[in-house]
Structure 1
Amino acid sequence: MQLKLIEKPVEPEPLKTIESSIAERLEDDNFKWMRPIERNLYKVPNEQKFLSEDQLKDAYSQGGVMNVYPFREDSKVDIPPPVSSFEQAFGSNQAIMNEIKKNGFDKPSPIQAQMWPILLSGQDCIGVSQTGSGKTLAFLLPAFLHIDAQYKQYDANEKKPSPSVLVLSPTRELAQQIEGEVQKYSYNGYKSVCLYGGGSRKEQVDSCKGGIEIVIATPGRLTDLSNDGVISLASVTYVVLDEADRMLDMGFEAAIRRILFEIRPDRLVALTSATWPEGVRKLTDRYTKQAIMAVNGSLDLTVIKSQMTLLQLICFQSCKTVTQFFEFVPHENRFDRVCEIVNFLNTAHGKNYKMIIFVKSKVMADHLSSDFCMKGINSQGLHGGRSQTDRELSLKMLRSGEVQILVATDLASRGIDVPDITHVLNYDFPMDIEEYVHRVGRTGRAGRNGEAMSFMWWNDRSNFEGLISILEKSGQEVPEQLRRDAARYRQKCQDGRDGPRPNFRNKSNKESSFQSSY
C-alpha cells in the first residue's frame, strides 16, 4: 500500500502593522535605544475632509484614473484623499512652496496628488505610474519633511542620527538623476551622497564623512560600503525602493534583503515599480506594513488584484500615447532600413526629433554606432560596458540636442530622464514583452505623443501573443501578419513542434514619420 503525502497549504505571512513593527524594534537590542519615528505629518485640508463619493471619484480621475486600495485585503487603513494643489500638501512649508514655484510647476501630477498624503500621514506606499509622471518628487518632498520631524526630537546641541533617508536605485544613471533633484531643492541644507559602482570609491567614502541626511545608492555599492563600516544604515527611518522590479531583474534581491535587515523594522517605506511580478509582490509583503497601493491607470481593480502583472496597466498608461509600428525585416537588411528612417527624420524634422535605437547587446550597440559614423550619421552609444564618464557624456549630448540619436541596450529602457524623446526604434526586438513596454515608454511621456517602430522576424515568435494583447488593450491596430504568425506559432506549440522563444510587425493607415519613410 502506497502512502500519499498530503501537502499542507502555504500559510500567508501574518499581516505586519505599524504597532507590531514598533514592538519588533523594541525587542531587538540593535534598535531598542532608538527614538520613535514621528510618522503623521499631515493634516487633511478642511476642503478635503468631507468630500462626497462623487467628488472623490472626480478627484481620482484628474489627469488619469487613480486606483488606490490596501496592498493586502486584510489590512485596515485610512486612505487620505488626494490633494488637488501644492498648497494642500505643503502650504504650511514656505521653503518647499518657494522651490515648487521656482521650478514652474502648475499642479501636482496624479501620482504625486495621492502619494504625498499617504507618505506624509506616515503610511507605507507603493506607487505605480507612467515614466516621467513625477514619481521622484512624489517620494522626495515627503522625505524632506520627514527629516525635519525626526530632527525636532533632538536638542540643538545633540548629535542627530544620520543618514535618515535611503533611496535605493537600480542603476547609477537613475541614482544620479535622483541626486540632481535633491540638489535642485537644496532643502534646509540637507546633504546627500550618491553611491554607485563605477564611481570613485574614495570620493564616495569621503562624502559619507561628517554626516549626511540622504543616501541615494545602487544596492551593490551600498552593500560594499556598509560591510566595510563606512556607512551605518541603523539610523535610516525612511526607505525608498525605486524601480523595485528592475532591481530584482538585475539580481539585487539578496543585496536588498541584506540592506533592509540592517534598517529598523518600523521604518517608513515607499516603493515604486513599473510591473508587478511575483518577486516584487513578495518583497512588498515582507518589508512593508499595511501598505497602500497608488496606481495611476485605467484598468479595473479586479484585473489588477488578480495576480496578473501590471504590464497591461502600464500599456494603458504609456502605450496609449505612443503610436506603434512594426516591420518584419531580416537582420541583414536592418541597417539599410534604419538609415532610410534616419534620413527621412532628418529631412522631415531637421533638429526637432530625438530617437533611441534599442539593440540586444553591447557589441551590437558599438557596431551600429560605428556603422552610423561611417555613413556620416551623428549618434552616441550607451551600454553597461562603457565608462561612467562616457555614459554621462552620451546622455548629456542627447539631452542638449548635440546628438539626436542614442544607440542603447536595455540600460536606457528605464530611469533615463530625457523627457523629449520623440521616436523609439527596436532594432532588435527585446527578449520579453515587459521590456518592450519599458522601451516604448521612453517616448510619449508626460502627456506628449510619440512613435515607436519595431523590427521583427520569426525568431521573435514567443512574444507575439503578449504583443497582441498589449496592442489591443492600448487601442492600437494589430497587424494581420502578426495575428497570422501568432496563430501559426500557437498551433506548432500545440502539436509539440515548437516552444517558447522571441519576435513581430504592423502596417497602420495612420500618417506618421515612420510610415511616411517607406
Structure 2
Amino acid sequence: MRSSWADSVANAEESAPATGAAPAPVANHQNSRPTRSSYVPPHLRGGGRSPENQVPAAAPTPAGAYPSGAVQPAGGYAAAVGGTRWAAPPGAPSAGVGVVRQGGGGRGAVGGGGGGWNSRPGGWGDRRDREPNPFGDSEPAAVDVDFESQQNTGINFDAYEDIPVETSGHDVPAAVNTFAEIDLGDALNENIRRCKYVRPTPVQRHAIPIVIGGRDLMACAQTGSGKTAAFCFPIISGILKSRPPQRPRARTAFPLALILSPTRELSVQIHEEAKKFAYQTGVKACVAYGGAPIHQQLRELERGVDILVATPGRLMDLLERARVSLQMVNYLALDEADRMLDMGFEPQIRKIVEQMDMPPRGVRQTMLFSATFPKEIQRLASDFLADYIFLAVGRVGSSTDLIAQRVEFVLEADKRSYLMDLIHAQKANDVPGKNSLTLVFVETKRGADALENWLYTNGFPATSIHGDRTQQEREYALRSFKSGATPILVATDVAARGLDIPDVAHVINFDLPNDIDDYVHRIGRTGRAGKSGLATAFFNEGNMSLARPLCELMQEANQEVPQWRCSIWWT
C-alpha cells in the first residue's frame, strides 16, 4: 500500500539533514567513477596516479584560476588535473542536476519541492523551510523593491530594442513593457526579482500576455531570447490562480502542465529554471529523461508533480507503465519543436498528444516554440493548436547581429593547427578573472573524442559531449565547462540547441553542418541574452552546398562578406 504524503515527509525527514545544515559535500568522483562506461577522459589516462594521490576537489578555485597542482604545458592553457568529468568542478554547487542527484542537497527532505498540489490544502506551512533554495542565497528577496530598481547581471536588454516583432491572429493581447504590468502573483514576482530580471525580453513581452489571456501560441524566436521564462511564467501563474484539483491518491502521477523538449540536457535546464521560478510557491516541477535510472524518476513523481518536463521517449515509457496520466494537463508546451522533428520524435509526439489521455486542443492550452518554421512545424501547429496566435521575434530562422560571424577557408589537414591559433588568440584577449568559454562543433562522435584528446595532449584543457556519453558523463562535462575548469567543449549537435551556457565567447564550427538551420542553432550558443559573441566557421570544398544560404544569412545579419567569398560561393 502506498504511504501517505505525510508518511513520505516523515520518512524523508529521518534521512535528510536538519534544516539549515550545511549541504552534503560533493563526492570525489575520481574515486567512484561509473563502472558501466569504458570511456576514460584524456586527463585521467595513463598517469599512474593512485586514488590517494589524486588532487582533491574540495576547495573552490577563484574565478579564472585552475586547481592547485595543475600543470602548465608550454604554449597552452593550464591543464586541469582534478578530473573534470568525474569530480565536481571548482565552485560548482552541491545540488545535483535533474533527478540524478550527484552532489547531494538535491532531494532534501521532501524531494526538492514538496508533494505538489495533492498535498497543498491552503498552503505549504512549514514545508517552505525544507525546500532547497535554488538561488543559493540565504536572504529572501525584498518584496517592496521595484522591478526597475533591480540591476540585472546577465542580460543586455538594450540590445533587444530594435528587434522586429510580428504577430498574427485575431484579438491579440497587448504587449507589456514591465513585469509589474502582468498579474503573475506575488510569489512568482518575488522569484523574478531573485532572478534579477529587469524587464521582459521581446518574446516575453508578447508571449506572456497571450498565454495568460488563455490563447494558444506558436512562437518563433531567435536563440537566447528568454523563451523558457515566456512559457514558465504563465504556466506557474495559472496553476497558482486555479483551484487546487483533487487528484487520485495513487502511484500514477497527474501533472497539470507538460513541457516536452528534445534532449536530456535541455530538459534538465528547463527543470532547473522552473524550480527557480516556482520556489516556495507550492508548485512542484519534476523532470524525466532517458539515460538515467527510471526508478529514481518514478520515486520523484510519486511525491507529487504539477509541472512535468520530459523528453518524448522517456515520457512514452512512463505512460505505457501507467505511472503518468495526462488527463489533467491544462498546459502543454513544446520547446525546440523543430529540433524534436529533426530527431525523429514526431510519431511519439503525436501519440502523446493525440492518442493518450491528454485533453483535446481547445480544452488544454498549447504553446509551441521553435527557432524555425518549416512546413512540418506548420502542420504540427495546425494539428495541435486551436485558434492560435503566431508570434515571430526577429527574422524566422535567422541569427542575431550580436554574433560576429567569420568564415575562413581551411583545408581539412589544416583545421587543427588553425584551431590552435584561434584558441591562442582568444587566450591573449581574455579578461582576467572572467570565464571565457569556447565551444567547438564537430560532425561525428569519433571526431569529438579525437579532437578532445588532441587538445588535451597539446596543453588545452578540454572536455567533450555527444550522444554516446552516459548521462553522468554529460552532466559532469557541462558542469566542468560552465565553471571554467575546462574552458573548451567539443560537441556534436547534441549540445547545439536550447542549452543556455553563460559566457560562451566563441563558437567554432570545426566541421560545418549540412543544413543552415543547424548552423544558426550552433552559433546561437554565443551572443545570448543580448550579449555579443563570435562565431568562426572552417569552410572548404566539402561545404559548397552550404555556400549560398550561408552568404545570404551573413548578409541578412549585417555581417561583412568579403568579395572573394561571394564570388566563390555564388559560382
Smaller-chain TM-score range?
Answer: 0.7 to 0.9
Post-superposition offset of 1:397: 1.4
2:514–2:545 CA contact under 8 A, matched in 1: no
Mean CA deviation greater in 385-394 or 359-368: 385-394
- Provide the residue aligned with 1:69 in structure 2: 168
Work out the CA distance in 2 between the residues paired with 1:161 and 1:341.
50
Q: How does 1:475-490 map to 2 (within 5 A)?
A: 475-488=558-571
Structure 2 CA distance for aligned equivalents of residues 393 and 153 of structure 1: 38
Instruction: Find out whether 1:111 has 2:203 as its counterpart.
Output: yes
Q: Note if contact 2:224-2:524 (Cα within 8 Å) is conserved in structure 1.
A: no
Per-residue Cα deviation, 1:44-95 (whole angstroms, up to 9, x for no partner): xxxxxxxxxxxxxxxxx9452221112xxxxxx311100111111136x211
Q: Which residue of 2 aligns with 1:515?
A: none
Report the Cα distance in structure 2 between the residues aligned to 1:366 and 1:162, rounded to whole angstroms. Answer: 41
- Distance, in Å, in 1 between the alignment partners of 2:570 and 2:270 is 44
Matches of 1:430 and 1:388, distance apart in 2: 24
Which residue, out of 489, 501, 520, partners 1:418? 501
Residue by residue over 1:260-311, the C-alpha shift from the partner in whole angstroms, topping out at 9 and shown as x without a partner, is 01211121001110011111110000110011112111x5xxxxxxxxxx32
The alignment partner of 1:396 has SS state of: helix
- Cα RMSD for the two superposed structures: 2.1
Counterpart-to-counterpart distance in 1, 2:546 and 2:484: 34
- The equivalent of 1:464 in structure 2 is 547
The CA distance in 2 between the partners of 1:391 and 1:172, in whole Å, is 9
Question: CA deviation digits over 1:405-431, x for unaligned, max 9?
Answer: 111111121111113211111111111
Q: Which residue of 1 aligns with 2:272?
A: 180
* Superposition deviation, residue 184 in structure 1: 1.3
Within the candidate set 401, 407, 430, 1:349 is matched to: 430
Q: Does residue 144 in structure 1 map to residue 236 in structure 2? A: yes
Unaligned stretches of 5+ in structure 1? Answer: 1-60, 71-76, 300-309, 489-518
Q: Paired residue for 1:236?
A: 329
Which residue number in structure 1 is paired with residue 301 of structure 2? 208
Q: In structure 1, how many angstroms separate the alpha carbons of the residues matched to 2:502 and 2:375?
A: 30
1:166 maps to 258
Given candidates 413, 416, 438, the residue that maps to 1:332 is: 413
Normalised by the length of structure 2, the TM-score is 0.68
Letter in 2 for 1:110: P
Corresponding letter in the other structure for 2:466: H
The 5-angstrom pairing of residues 281-300 of structure 1 reads 281-297=378-394, 299=395
SS at match of 1:140: helix
Aligned to 1:53: none
- 1:379, 1:152 → 2: CA distance? 48
After superposition, the C-alpha distances for 1:131-176 in whole angstroms (9 at most, x for unaligned) are: 2221111101111122234435669x9xx99310000000011100
Tell me the equivalent position of 1:131. Answer: 223
Q: Is the 8 A contact 2:262 2:311 kept in 1?
A: yes
Paired letter, 1:67:
E
Q: Distance in 1 between matches of 2:492 and 2:499?
A: 12
What is the identity, as a one-letter code, of the residue corresponding to 1:243?
Answer: E
Q: What is the rounded CA distance, in whole Å, between the counterparts of 1:201 and 1:401 in structure 2?
A: 31
User: Which one is further off, 128-137 or 478-487?
Assistant: 478-487
Asked whether the equivalents of residues 286 and 308 of structure 2 are also in contact (C-alpha less than 8 Å), the reply is yes
Q: TM-score, normalised by structure 1?
A: 0.75
Alignment of structure 1 residues 79-98 onto 2, 5 Å:
79-90=172-183, 93-98=185-190
Query: Does the aligned pair in 1 maintain the 2:464–2:490 contact within 8 Å?
Result: yes
The whole-number CA distance in structure 1 between the counterparts of 2:440 and 2:569 is 25
Looking at structure 2, the residues matched to 79 and 397 of structure 1 have their Cα atoms a distance apart, in angstroms, of: 44
Give the letter aligned to residue 283 of structure 2: Y
Q: Does 1:267 align with 2:355?
A: no
Map 1:7-22 onto structure 2 (within 5 A).
Answer: none
Moved over 4 A (4+): 152-155
> Is the 8 Å Cα contact of residues 322 and 450 (structure 1) preserved in structure 2?
yes
1:255 pairs with one of 348, 360, 363: 348
Conserved? CA contact 1:132–1:419, under 8 Å: no
- Residue 254 of structure 1 deviates from its aligned partner by 0.3
Residues 1:445 and 1:365: Cα distance change in structure 2 (over 3 Å)? same
Contact 2:253/2:301 (8 A) holds in 1: no
Render the CA deviation track for 1:436-461: whole Å, top value 9, x for unaligned: 11111111112211111111111111
Q: CA deviation at 1:210?
A: 4.0
After TM superposition, the structure 1 = structure 2 runs for residues 494-509 of structure 1, keeping only pairs within 5 Å, are none
For 1:201 and 1:214, locate their aligned partners in 2 and report how far apart those are by CA, in whole Å.
18
1:242 and 1:402 map into 2 onto residues whose CA distance is 30
- Give distance in 2, aligned partners of 1:485 and 1:471: 15
> What is the SS of the residue equivalent to 1:446?
helix
In structure 2, what is the Cα distance between the partners aligned to 1:478 and 1:220? 42
SS at match of 2:407: strand
Deviation at 1:199, TM superposition (A): 1.0
Tell me whether 1:372 sits opposite 2:464 in the alignment.
no
Alpha-carbon offset, residue 347 of structure 1? 2.2
Question: Contact 1:161/1:235 (CA < 8 Å) preserved in 2?
Answer: no
Aligned residue in 2 for 1:502: none
Q: 1:392 aligns with which of 464, 469, 475?
A: 475
Q: What amino acid sits opposite 1:223 in the alignment? A: M
Q: Distance in 2 between matches of 1:275 and 1:161?
A: 33
* C-alpha displacement of 1:211: 2.8
State the secondary structure of the residue aligned to 2:525. Answer: coil
How far apart in 2 are the matches of 1:402 and 1:235?
44
| Residues in 2 aligned to 1:333 and 1:483: alpha-carbon distance in whole angstroms | 22
Conserved? CA contact 2:287–2:309, under 8 Å: yes
* Counterpart code for 1:222: L
Number of aligned positions between the proteins:
404
Matched letter for residue 281 of structure 1 = Q
**Highest relative contact order (Cα 8 Å, sep 6+), 1 or 2?**
2
Which residue number in structure 2 is paired with residue 509 of structure 1?
Answer: none
**Is residue 169–residue 243 contact of structure 1 (8 Å, CA) maintained in 2?**
yes
**In the alignment, which residue of structure 1 is the partner of 2:513?**
430
CA distance in 1, matches of 2:253, 2:554: 50
CA distance 1:151–1:462, shift in 2 (3 Å):
same
Give the counterpart letter for 1:459 in structure 2: G
Over the matched positions of the two proteins, sequence identity in percent amounts to 35
1:15-68 Cα offsets, whole Å, 9 max, x none, are: xxxxxxxxxxxxxxxxxxxxxxxxxxxxxxxxxxxxxxxxxxxxxx94522211
SS at match of 1:188: coil
Give the 3-state SS of the residue equivalent to 2:265 in structure 1.
helix
